[in-house]
Amino acid sequence: MPPLDAPPPADEEIDGPPLAPPPLPAEDEATRRAAGRSFPCLGCGADLEFDPRAQAPKCPYCGHVAALETGGAPVAERDLATALDKAAQKRHAPDSGTPLHEVSCGACGAVVQFAGALTATACPYCSQPIQREGVHDSTQRLPVDGVIPFQVEDAKARANLGAWTASRWFLPSELKKSGIAAAFQGVYLPFFTFDALTANSYSGLRGDHYTVTVGSGKNRRTIRRTRWRPAAGSFRRFFDDTLECAGSGLPEKQMSALEPWPLKGCQPFRAEFLAGFFARTYERPLADCFSGAKKRMEAAIEADVRSRIGGDVQRIFSLSTGWSALSYKHLLLPVWMASYRFREKNYRIVVNAATGEVQGERPWSAAKIAALVVGILAVVAAIVLVAQSR
């Protein structure tokens, strides 16, 4: 959707980088937040973009690299109970206010609209990176605690996609030969991580299989039986950084397959990391994300119980869990996203921009699958014929 009341593009072509905007007069907080945030280059005045290779903001025109302090103290954990209580008191969903947010581009002055959860984009008139000011440290929403900066460049993501495509079985031959042509878009997606200390008590039965021979003559046979004995115990387990995506409309299966993320490499949030990339803020509330993470923790606890009971099979009669030391972090993680069209159908690709892991949708060749089935049937028929000839 084009921005409202946007100034018309200039009729004259201007050489060199866009001029820096004049300084804003003394303004109130609302006016300051209406100005799109950018990071001008000290060398030529153009807007800097975060460079994955330099791990710092870099000018795409003159090549100047700005100093960016990284490392230092680890990203702090926040108390989950306090955050959930505050959210319950507000009784409103994220982005319940104005659905469109307008900011002024610092390079050309155009008014740019941010819809929904989008927080960083590029100006449609001058292509300069622009961010919604203050959205990631707003008092109205949970602030971002940490960022994993882009580590994988666009070219590397494309190379990894080529290797991924070549390794796909039963891919249509024309796509296998030509490869997937897709334009990547770098996006920071919102996630929550959760820590929890659990105290677990359980009771159940351990089953050990054994065999016995029954019957006689032609009816003699071996059967399997199970010997059961009671089992009970208690243990503690600490969950560190259980990850839950806080965006909506994302390919859940592919996003989960991008794990693991190098969360130990998280940097305390700085807006400079977002320069030149799209970014989104969370759409799923904290309580909803914790519910999803808690289900995975509970599944892991049940697996622990079965392992502790041991044996060949287990029956769990009771399992109680106490939860304590609950904390969370709000993170932005980097993803290269792309889509491509093949035979009138759209497919989506996602690349972990910290590790290079590729996941995505792909078409299947019915002809290749049919040929494999026919081949298997031919082998089975040949084995049967050999067996019958003996």
Q: What is the pLDDT along the chain (390 residues), one digit of tens a residue?
A: 444 444 444 444 434 444 443 343 333 333 333 334 678 888 888 888 888 988 888 888 888 888 887 666 788 899 999 999 888 877 554 444 444 455 556 555 544 445 555 555 665 445 556 665 655 555 567 888 999 999 999 999 999 998 988 888 888 888 888 888 888 888 899 999 999 999 999 999 999 999 999 888 888 889 999 999 999 999 999 999 999 999 877 778 888 899 999 999 899 988 888 888 888 888 899 999 999 999 999 999 999 999 999 999 999 999 999 999 999 999 999 999 888 888 888 888 999 999 999 998 888 878 888 888 888 988 888 888 887 776
Classify residue 91: in a domain, yes or no: no
φ, ψ of residue 169 to 5 degrees: the values are -80, 150
Question: Is residue 118, in this structure, part of any structural domain at all?
Answer: yes
The domain of 3 spans 1-68+98-140
| 278 domain-assigned | no
Burial group, residue 167, by CB count within 10 angstroms (0-12, 13-18, 19+): exposed
| 114 neighbors 101 (Cβ within 8 angstroms) | yes
> What is the number of structural domains in the chain?
1
Tokens of 315: 């029956």
**Residue owning tokens 């049940």:** 302
Q: Which of 327, 330, 182 is nearest to 240 (CA)?
A: 327
Give the tokens for residue 184: 């990547």
Residue 131 belongs to a domain: yes
Q: For helices 286-309 and 80-90, give the axis angle rounded to 10 degrees.
A: 140
| Predicted local confidence at residue 111, as pLDDT | 47
* CA geometry: angle 141, 101, 94, nearest 5 deg: 30
Is 42 inside any structural domain? yes
pLDDT score recorded for residue 229: 96
Give the pLDDT score at 101: 58
Decide if 47 is inside a domain. Answer: yes
205 located within any domain: no
Say if 376 falls within a structural domain: no
